[in-house]
Amino acid sequence: MLNASTLLQPLHRLFRFLVVLLFAAAAFAHAASAQTLRSEYVRITGAYATADAVLHSSSQDDKSVAFLYTHPFAPSSLSGFFCSQIPRRGLAVLCMNNRFSNNQQLNTIWEPIALDVAAGVGELRKRGYQKVFLLGYSAGGPTMAYFQALAEQGNALFNGGAALSGFKGFFERDGSERRVPAADGLILLNPSSGIGASGMFRLDPAIVDEASGQRDPSIDMYLAANGFDEKTGRATYTAEFLKRFRQAQCDRMNRLIDQSLARVKLARDGQSRFQGDDVAVTPGLRANPAYADLSLAQSTKGAYRLFPDDVTTVVKNDRVVARQAARNRGVDETARTDLSFLSYRAVRCSHFDADATDPDAHGLDVRSSNNITYANLARTRVPLLVIQGTADDTISHLTIAELLFNASTAPDKSLWYVKGMTHAITALRAEHGDVPSITADALVRWVRDRQAGRATTQRHMGNPSLALSVSPSLVPAAPVTISAGH
C-alpha cells in the first residue's frame, strides 16, 4: 500500500524544480539589472569640427563597436531612440549635435555637415572603439550616406562642382585633397530618399506664383473636384490626375531652381537688396497624394524580411491618412536662403516616378544634388542595413527603402521592415507590440552577426543570398590641421 509520503514525492520533486527555476530566473534578472548605463557629456574638438555630444554607454561595453548618430535639422540629437535603446543592449552610441542643429533649415549649407560627422567618427576612434557604425534616421539617412560616400570616394564625389551648390570638395591649405575617416557600416532607419529628393514627393505643384501663392485648381490635391474629401482627409485620385500632378511637381522644382540661381547672380553682381545671397519663401511643402489616397503606395515590389515574425514576404503598407492640408498652407519650413536651397533642398527633375525602385527610373538628376541617398549609396561599399516601418505616414512609400536597397553597391546589404512601426518609431496600434525594442533588437543583432562573421545579404528584390564575410574596415585618414574648405 502506498503511504502519503510516497504519494507526495512527485510533488516534492516538482516543487524543488520550480524553486531552482525561480532562483535561475532571479539570477538572470540580477545579471541583466547589474548593467550600469552611463551618459557622458562630450565636447568634441579637433581638426574637423567642434560639436556637443553625449556618449551613452553601458558597463558591458567592450569597445568592439560603437554607433554615431546625428540628424541634420532636429532641435537636438543628444537623446532619442538610438541614444536610449542601444546602451541597454550593451553597446555605446555617440549622439551628437551638428552645426545646423535647431536652425529651422533657414540657411543650411549641406556639404560641410560631413565635417561634423567626421569629428564624431574621430572621437570614437580616439576612444578606442574598433568599429564605428553610422545611424541615420529619417533625414539622417541622406546625411550618413553622403558622409560615407565622401569618405570612400573623396572629392571625386562632387563631380567637379556639378551640383547646383557648385561645391567642389574639401581641401587643405596647400590645395591638396582633404579626406575624412570612413565608418565601418551604415544603418538607416525610416530613411528619406534625400533632402531635395524627399521634397519632390511633397512639393505642391498647384502653386504657380511664388509671390502671391496663386494656385492652379486642376492640379490641387486638396480640392474635392480632384478626389479629396476634406471631412475625412481621404482621397481617390485618377491615374490621369496623378500623372499631371507629378510632372507639375517637376516643373515647379525646376522653376524654383532657376529663380534662385537668378537671385544669387544678382546678389553676387551687387544688384540685389543683399550681398552674395537672397531670401525666399517657398509655400506648399506638404502635398504628397499618398498622404490622402491609401490605394497608392500599398506595398513593396519585392519580398523582404518583415519583423517581428521574421518572415520574407511582399510587405503591405499599414499607414493611416496623414492630414496635411492645413500644414501645406502654413509657414513651417517655408523660409530659406537661396544658397541654402540650392545646396540643401533643390534637385533637377525630368519626370518623377514616386514608386520607382530603379534609380534610373526615378526621374531625378542625381548630379544636381549631393544629398540624394540612393546616389550616395551607389558609391559606398561598407555593410548596409535599411529598416523601414510599415506604418510610416511621413515616408509614405515603402518603395523608397527598396529604391535605396537596390541602388546600394555594398556586397553586404539588408532591407528589413517592421510591422506597424510609425515614422516616430512607435507602434501604430497596441497589437504591433513593443516596436522600439523589436527594432533595436534587430539592428543590434545585425551588427553582432557581422562581428561574429555571420553576415548575410539580400539581392534582387529581397531574395536571400549565400552568407558573405564581413567587409574589411576602412582605415581612417589621420586628422590634420586644415582650412575650412569651400
Is the same domain home to 173 and 118?
yes
- In-domain check, residue 25: no
Q: Which helix (H) or strand (E) holds 146?
A: helix 140-153
Is the same domain home to 176 and 55?
yes
- In-domain check, residue 12: no
β-bridge mates for residue 253, sequence order: none
How many helices (H) does the chain have, and how many strands (E)?
Answer: 12, 14
What is the phi/psi pair of residue 387, to 5°?
-120, 125
Is the same domain home to 188 and 205?
no
Is the same domain home to 359 and 450?
yes
Q: Give residue 466's pLDDT.
A: 28
Is the same domain home to 79 and 220?
no
Is the same domain home to 271 and 180?
no
Looking only at the bridges linking them, the beta strands covering 458-459 and 463-464 are antiparallel
Tell me the CA end-to-end span of the chain in Å, nearest whole number: 97
Show pLDDT as tens, one digit a residue, over the chain (486 residues).
Answer: 444 444 344 444 444 434 333 434 444 344 445 789 999 999 999 899 999 999 999 999 999 999 999 999 999 999 999 999 999 999 999 999 999 998 778 899 999 999 999 999 999 999 999 999 999 999 999 999 999 999 999 999 999 999 999 999 999 999 999 999 999 999 999 999 999 999 999 999 999 999 999 999 999 999 999 999 999 999 999 999 999 999 999 999 999 999 999 999 999 999 999 999 999 999 999 999 999 999 999 999 999 999 999 999 999 999 999 999 999 999 988 999 999 999 999 999 999 999 999 999 999 999 999 999 999 999 999 999 999 999 999 999 999 999 999 999 999 999 999 999 999 999 999 999 999 999 999 999 999 999 988 776 664 444 333 232 233 322 233 322 222 233
Is the same domain home to 179 and 215?
no
Taking the model in full, what pTM does it have? 0.87
- In-domain check, residue 314: no
Over the Cα atoms of the chain, what is R_g?
Answer: 25
- Determine the Cα–Cα distance for residues 389 and 418; give it in Å rounded to an integer: 5
- In-domain check, residue 398: yes
What b/e sequence results for 201-240 when a residue is b if at least 16 CB atoms lie within 10 Å of its CB, and e otherwise? Answer: bbbbbbbeebeeeebeeebbbbeeebbbeeeebbbebeee
How many domains are there within the chain?
A: 2
Q: How many CA atoms lie within 13 A of 220 on its CB side?
A: 17
- Determine the Cα–Cα distance for residues 439 and 426; give it in Å rounded to an integer: 10
CATH number assigned to the domain comprising residue 141: 3.40.50.1820
**Contact residues for 22 (Cβ-Cβ < 8 A; gap 6+):** none
- Determine the Cα–Cα distance for residues 397 and 297; give it in Å rounded to an integer: 5
Q: Give residue 458's pLDDT.
A: 61
Q: Give residue 304's pLDDT.
A: 98
SS3 112: coil
- Determine the Cα–Cα distance for residues 409 and 118; give it in Å rounded to an integer: 22
Q: Note down the domain range covering 225.
A: 200-295+321-345
- In-domain check, residue 11: no
Is the same domain home to 56 and 144?
yes
What's the DSSP call for residue 14? H
Is the same domain home to 46 and 167?
yes
Q: Are 152 and 204 in contact (CB under 8 A)?
A: no
Is the same domain home to 233 and 282?
yes
- In-domain check, residue 291: yes
- In-domain check, residue 16: no
The torsion defined by the Cα of 142, 148, 152 and 153, in degrees rounded to 10, comes to 30
Closest by CA position to 298, among listed 202, 232, 396, 227: 396
Counting every residue written for the chain, the total comes to 486
- In-domain check, residue 474: no
Is the same domain home to 130 and 61?
yes
Is the same domain home to 216 and 166?
no
